[in-house]
Amino acid sequence: MAGRLKLPCEGTMKEAMTAYYTEAFTSDRPKAWVTSGAPVELLLAADVIPIFPENYGAMIGAQRLGGDLCSAAGDLGFDDCVCSYARCTIASTERGEGPLGALPAPDLLLACNNGCGTMFKWYEVLSRRFGVPLLFFDTPYCDGEPTPRDREYLVRQLERIIAELGDILGREVDRNRLWETLRLSSDTARLWTGIQELRKARPCPLNSPDMFLHMALIVTLRGTEIAYNYYQEMLAQVRERVEAGIGAVEGERYRLLWDHIPPWYALRDFFGFCAELGACFAVDTYTNVWQGEFDPDHPLESLAECYQKVMPNLRLPWRAAMYVDYIRDYAIDGFVIHSNHSCKSYCLGEYEIARRVTAETGVRGVILEADMVDPKFYSEAQVKQMMAAFLESLD
Amino acid sequence: MQRLVEIARDPHGALREAAREGKGVVGYFCSYVPVELIHAAGFTPVRMLQGPPPGEVAGRYMQPFCCSFARSLLEGLGDGTYAYLSAVVMPHTCDTIRNLSDLVETAAPGTRVMRLMVPTVTHTAEAADFMLAETEALKEALEDLAGEELDRERLFQSIRLYNRCRDALAGLKGSGLGNRALYAAYLAFQLMDPEEFLALASSLSRGPADRDARAREAGSAESGGAGVALVGGPVPQLEVFDLLQEYGLEVVWDDLCTGSRFAAGAVRENGDPLRALAERYLGRRPCPTKRDPDNRREEELVKGVAAGGARGVVFLQQAFCEFHSFDYPGLKKRLDAEGIPSVRLDLEHPFAPTGQMRTRLQALSEMMGEGR
């Protein structure tokens, strides 16, 4: 199996994530469980520790604990059509099991439905389970740009969330600190985008599984010096790699696009298998979600817009156009779509997107059926056979 | 009664005929769409409830893990079953229907889609204002389709008409019509011209003897079974209600998307009509696609069971409906704590009663008997 070529900065990230989880488990500061697409900047500015159950779901998946925990969720009454991130983390909470045991109990919750409607359902379950308040940011489905009524609705909600957060904490959220957090978050997102841009190089310096690992800080700690410093270091190292002509996959033969969250339990196995065949995933839709930049002159308005316009919340024509741009900009030979059993929001429309992208670019794709955490929807032999045949067809 | 049952079973013939005669028909996808607005614009609103069994069209666009309810509707739009529609209104409800709104124009070229971004939050001032703004946008789209402005008085006429229809339906509840007849009336209300519906429903409320005769006419079994409450999403198949009747279960209360959640609650008949519509539609008992900060669904279920004298609960879910599946464990746990037996049936289109369904209903029937 082809090994992953590591960047020197990975040690820094491991230290940062260890410190983050240690603080989350031991600190007396208030803690909030938060969805990955919610405006975490509000929490950071209010000195609340954000905890991301989705990240924990990914860890559960990667450590192959998803099968048992999803099955345990079934015993609690949650059937297989419920998101496997939700299922495995709910079961982890009830059983006290998981890579780090159960996550520390939250004092409050912050959810946004820009990724899917699943989020607020999941967080309602958590709110009732822990008896803590849920702050919810409702982001209407976006037709490219927010409508004036969207903007008003979004900004008024943010004002309400900021006020309610202050009420819960017993102290007002410091607006100046919030603007500073937004500035740092923007600067960090710009670095992340810069790293993504470097993947256009041939050979590609970073394969998608690398990005799935390195995204941990942009998800959890965007808006902090820790994340900003880390991505500065990473950007420099990736640039060096590009200048030295080092590719993430030895003998890069195919440049692919990956769509969706990966099947975490098969991360090494699947992407390693592809790498052995010379396939590098030079771009992916998933890790490009964290890209928003905020306007310091209109911070709340731009915060609202950034969070509404994330990829899974865009209407299909915009998503398809994004794929076409990726294929052209990253010189992609083929695309691989993960039809994720857990995720109707991200997946429904994939068949049509695939057709439109092929019609416009001439580049073909393959659709793999699986799930991000629950391995029972994944057939290793079938997936590998399909990938091998697909890559052969690209020659 | 027979006419209501016919419409509930197959509305397409009558609607096709109406469209041929120049009466425009507009389809809508969920119970959050203000039907009064469609009607006031000169169209017959028809709920999108059941197309043909999912086949080639659905398979081309939708994964098998999407519910057969949505897949069947896309099939019907794509294969021409719904060709009589002048437009479809697609609200933001679940992720499936939201994304489906992007596929309809491709799967059924020429279909005019009007989107209605119903807020997920229903209890805040900004959500109410957003719903109002979206309702205004829908009004403009309908005016554009109709080619004329929609005036306030016409809108109030439609509001009054639909309020009368809801009153007539409320009068049928608990009247011993039997499951099939009652739910045929509910479904027909969503599938036909409201004036005709009002006339038919009013005639059904005449007296107990008439009602029993009409229930028999509708094919309902005799009433008087053990009372159950139903909880779930859309249930367009009358056969489901027959199945319940087979086990002696008579529906006395429901929280169904095609039942009382659709029909309960009048629209205010004064003030700003658009605001009145926005208030009524957001103020209803929330469906699982909406935020429910006070746990109204659970509280009202327990109250409804008590008020209706139900001795058990049947969950009727569309298979693969994630939103209902999220709510199910909490509701079930509460019912268990209250000592109320319940079972869950997952529905697919086409509907076929499985052995598992029968076993569950038999078990419920027995548990209800023990709890007597």
User: Is-contact B23 B44, C-beta < 8 A?
Assistant: yes
Alpha helices in A48-207 (DSSP H): 53-62, 66-75, 84-95, 118-130, 148-169, 175-198
Chain B residues in contact with A157 by the CB 8 A cut-off are 121, 124, 126
Alpha helices in chain B (DSSP H): 2-9, 12-20, 35-40, 56-61, 68-78, 95-100, 104-107, 125-146, 152-172, 179-189, 194-204, 208-217, 238-246, 260-263, 273-283, 296-308, 322-337, 355-370
* B27 located within any domain: yes
Q: Which of A143, A150, A345 sits opposite B95 (nearest CB)?
A: A345
* B6 located within any domain: no
Written as one letter, the residue type at A254 is Y
User: Is-contact A366 A334, C-beta < 8 A?
Assistant: yes
Question: pLDDT digits over A92-143, tens only?
Answer: 999 999 999 999 999 999 999 999 999 999 999 999 999 999 999 999 999 9
Instruction: Spell out the domains of chain A, with CATH numbers in brackets.
Output: 10-174 (3.40.50.11890)
In angstroms, the Cα distances linking B212 to A84, B181, B224, B273 are: 49, 10, 11, 38
Q: Could you tell me whether strands A134-137 and A254-259 are parallel, antiparallel, or unpaired per DSSP bridges?
A: unpaired
In percent, the amount of chain A with pLDDT more than 90 equals: 95
The tokens of B248 are what? 């002696």
- Residue A356, pLDDT > 70, answer yes
CATH number, domain of B132, equals: 3.40.50.11890
- What integer pLDDT is reported at residue A264 of this predicted model? 97
Residue A185, phi-psi category: left (phi > 0), alpha (psi -120 to 50), beta (remainder): alpha
User: Is-contact A95 A103, C-beta < 8 A?
Assistant: no
Chain A residues in contact with B325 by the CB 8 A cut-off are 78-79, 81-82
Question: pLDDT digits over A5-21, tens only?
Answer: 899 999 999 999 999 99
Share the mean pLDDT of chain B: 92
Adjacent-strand bridge partners of A334? A256, A364
* B231 located within any domain: no
Domain total in chain B: 1
Of A286, A320, A343, A289, residue with least CA distance to A119: A343
- What integer pLDDT is reported at residue B175 of this predicted model? 73
Query: By residue range, what is the domain housing residue B111?
Result: 15-150
DSSP, collapsed to helix, strand or coil, labels residue B306 as helix
* B23 located within any domain: yes
Task: Say how many CB pairs under 8 Å bridge A and B.
Answer: 131
* B235 located within any domain: no
Chain A residues in contact with B133 by the CB 8 A cut-off are 149, 152-153
- For residue B122, the chain A residue with the least C-alpha distance is A138
Which residues of chain A approach chain B closer than 8 Å at the C-beta? 76-79, 81-83, 86, 113, 116-118, 120-122, 124-125, 128, 134, 136, 138, 140-141, 143, 149-150, 152-153, 156-157, 160, 315-317, 339, 341, 344-345, 347-352
Q: A262-266, A326-330, B12-16, B44-48 — which is least confidently predicted?
A: B12-16
In percent, the amount of chain A with pLDDT more than 70 equals: 99
User: What's the pLDDT band for B372 if we cut at 50, 70, 90?
Assistant: low
- Residue B224, pLDDT > 80, answer no
- B98 inside 8 A of chain A by CB: yes
Of A330, A329, A331, A393, residue with least CA distance to A365: A393
Helix and strand numbers, DSSP H then E, in chain A: 17, 8
Residue B122, phi-psi category: left (phi > 0), alpha (psi -120 to 50), beta (remainder): alpha
Question: pLDDT digits over B98-142, tens only?
Answer: 999 999 999 999 999 999 999 999 999 999 999 999 999 999 999
Hunting for tokens 């119903």 — which residue is that?
Answer: B118
* B340 located within any domain: no
- What integer pLDDT is reported at residue B172 of this predicted model? 86
Mean pLDDT along residues A309-330: 96
* B135 located within any domain: yes
DSSP letter (8 states) at residue B118: -
Radius of gyration of the CA atoms of chain A, in A:
20
* B58 located within any domain: yes
Of A291, A269, A260, residue with least CA distance to A367: A260
Question: pLDDT digits over B203-222, tens only?
Answer: 887 655 555 565 555 555 45
